[in-house]
Structure 1
Amino acid sequence: MDVADEGRDKNAFSTRHGFLLENVREWSGVGSDIYQSVEKVFGFCEQDNLEEFRFDEDGLGAGVRGDARAINELRNVARRPSILATPFRGSGAVFDPDDEAVRGDNGQAARLNKDFFANAKAQSWWRLRKLFQNTWRAVAEGMAYNPDEIISISSSMALKDKLIIELSQPTYSINGVGKIVIDKQPDGTRSPNLADSVMINYAPMNSALNIWELLGRQA
């Protein structure tokens, strides 16, 4: 879930099944009332048989966690299953900081995630870039990849063309300490809300921290 900023920005939500991106949705929020948008996302989760969704916790998205908790309390009273809301903080530290981002080669040392990306947003956009690059190589060059190394966009997606345009919008650069930074909204463009929701959905997050919450919900 990508939460809209103030103004003409829109909320966005994406659904995936493994490597298949099944759907993206967008809608206008009502002022700064996040609660109604979180309710809408819970409805999408029920339609798509999802037990969990991710949300952008930066900015206005900080309120999603509390709203999701309140909605789940009402669902529990009504004997309906809870839906886990997992925060994504693009401004936060990278995931798996000591894993290799770039393998060492020809005597060059490997670059670790913490040394290669400025933050989780840069790391997650880069991963999405790699997924599409791998998919192209698999189709065009016949290279073999594991399913978690590729991505496919459903041909039946209503907003497919708009999503593809948004996915091509972000650019990257190298900051003063040699790390990748992402500019998702270059001058003259709008915030790529649909693409943001996809980036969050495929972010290389470690879900191990959520296992106890999942077990508690199922108890």
Structure 2
Amino acid sequence: MPDGTPVRYKGAWGGRGSGKSHEMAGDVVEAMIVNPDCSVVCIREIQKSLALSAKKLIEAKIEAFGVSHLFEVLRGEIRRIGGTGLCIFQGMQDHTADSVKSLEGFDIAWVEEAQSLSQRSLDLLRPTIRKEGSQIWFSWNPRRRGDPVEKLLRGATPRDDAIVVRANYTDNPFLPDTLRKEAESDKALNPDGFGHTWLGEYENVSSKVVIPSAWVRSAIGLAERLGLDIDGKTFAALDVAGAEEGGDENAFAVRKGIQILSVETWNGLDTAITTQKAARIAATVGAAETYYDSVGVGEGVTGEWASMGRRNEQPNGITFHPWNGGAGVLNPDERVDKTNPQSPLNKDQYDNLKAQAWFGLRRRFENAHKAAKGLPYDADNLISIPADLPGLVQLEDELSQPQHKASGRGKTMVDKQPDGAKSPNMADAVVMAFFPAKHEVAVQMFLRKKRA
């Protein structure tokens, strides 16, 4: 402030590795050193445990500054020796309009991860921290323009009672080399999410995308560029559409080893005709195993395939397997990353088979992107798309359309039609072809044996 009065608000926003939290933790310690009676509350929207609070960081700053003799570090708080100063840690969701009044006498409120602070919490906090000369500090990685902290401190009209700065890893003179390499890796391999994660840009659709479009483009013509032979088993997959008036399309994908051989679509046709056509294509390309979306309209394929068997019309050597994206994950007790013993189990990471399959395809495209960039990659977990594949533009759009989110149980889900987008039928067929799961059949066999 021009007259020397402390500003009401201090804000630091930006990406990971900027040192925002370290700076503010140091400021907390300095404020309590200068004023032994200074009381600070460190706030998050949800405070699940002290391990997830700023307490450890503040303790580290006390140690680094060599002022341990001035503080008493207790289990749930930090006290200033020689004064009444106190530092506590709170979650705003634990407060009501009455209980939050306990914070009225505090000098400083530091809101960590402020992008998650709700409007209700902000409305409770601002009038509560009311002591003359008190301040509210915010540190955050921007998420959306409409978040409460954004409207408060980064609105169209700058506040004259606030100092707000941007800080990124590029501004941090103490940035560990390990973190710098992580940032550079994301810049090369995950350009769609790099801006939000590392530069503090608003989270956009791309940052939630399961498969970034840049990864899809890297897979185009990959086998030819790497001089790879196309070998391995041939699989096919059918994504079933509604009736001819439904406006949806059937999609049939064929894959041999790492290579997508073809993806064709056709509109209309009832499920009986669709099943017969898919069977003919599978027989022509030699796909002994064909998977189909068995939920909803796909139930018609189950019935027609059985009828074809009774009529002796099933092509020799061709088997149709139902594929249910809503079913449980395969290999539930295996780790998502088999090479990492700290990796979560499949059953703990993914909400259903659909999410597991989409992220399985994501890993293939990530490896394809690494290979295209000349970086180390897993040669057994690649995907390649012919440069002359019919419908390539539509396929690329569909593969990069689905977004990931957390379920109510905290597990990964996939939203294939964000913001009302059309169903990605071609991409769905590719996902099934690259994740040939006989999950539903195995479950049915298990249940039959159990009943017997």
Give me the TM-score of the superposition, normalised by structure 1.
0.84
1:19-30 to 2 correspondence within 5 Å? 19-30=258-269
Residue 322 of structure 2 is matched in structure 1 by 87
CA distance in 2: counterparts of 1:174 and 1:141, whole angstroms: 33
Deviations 1:116-150 (A, max 9, x none): 00000011011111110111111213314233x11
Alignment equivalent of 2:331, drawn from 96, 107, 131: 96
Matching residue's letter, 2:401: Q
Asked if structure 2 preserves the Cα contact closer than 8 Å seen for 1:171 and 1:183, the reply is yes
CA distance in 1: counterparts of 2:406 and 2:242, whole angstroms: 26
CA distance in 1: counterparts of 2:239 and 2:263, whole angstroms: 11
Residue 172 of structure 1 is matched in structure 2 by 404
Asked if structure 2 preserves the Cα contact closer than 8 Å seen for 1:95 and 1:206, the reply is no
Alignment equivalent of 2:434, drawn from 202, 205, 215: 202
Deviations 1:167-209 (A, max 9, x none): 01000011232210100001141000000100111116258x7
C-alpha change, 1:165 and 1:102, in structure 2 (3 Å) is same
Moved over 3 A (4+): 72-77, 102-105
Does structure 1 residue 158 correspond to structure 2 residue 395?
Answer: no
Residue 213 of structure 1 is matched in structure 2 by none
Structure with greater contact order relative to length (CA < 8 Å, sep ≥ 6): 1
Identity over aligned pairs, percent: 33
Equivalent position SS for 1:141? coil
Matching residue's letter, 1:22: L
CA distance in 2: counterparts of 1:45 and 1:182, whole angstroms: 28
Does structure 1 residue 141 correspond to structure 2 residue 374?
Answer: yes
Alignment equivalent of 2:280, drawn from 33, 39, 43: 43
Q: Which runs of 5+ in 1 are unaligned?
A: 211-219
Q: CA RMSD in A?
A: 2.2
Q: Aligned residue pairs: how many?
A: 202
CA distance in 2: counterparts of 1:104 and 1:52, whole angstroms: 29
Q: Which runs of 5+ in 2 are unaligned?
A: 1-237, 443-452
C-alpha change, 1:76 and 1:204, in structure 2 (3 Å) is closer
Deviations 1:70-93 (A, max 9, x none): 22343469xx51420011110000
Equivalent position SS for 1:22? strand
Asked if structure 1 preserves the Cα contact closer than 8 Å seen for 2:291 and 2:436, the reply is no
CA distance in 1: counterparts of 2:400 and 2:431, whole angstroms: 12
Asked if structure 2 preserves the Cα contact closer than 8 Å seen for 1:127 and 1:204, the reply is no
CA distance in 2: counterparts of 1:22 and 1:205, whole angstroms: 20
Q: Highest CA radius of gyration, 1 or 2?
A: 2
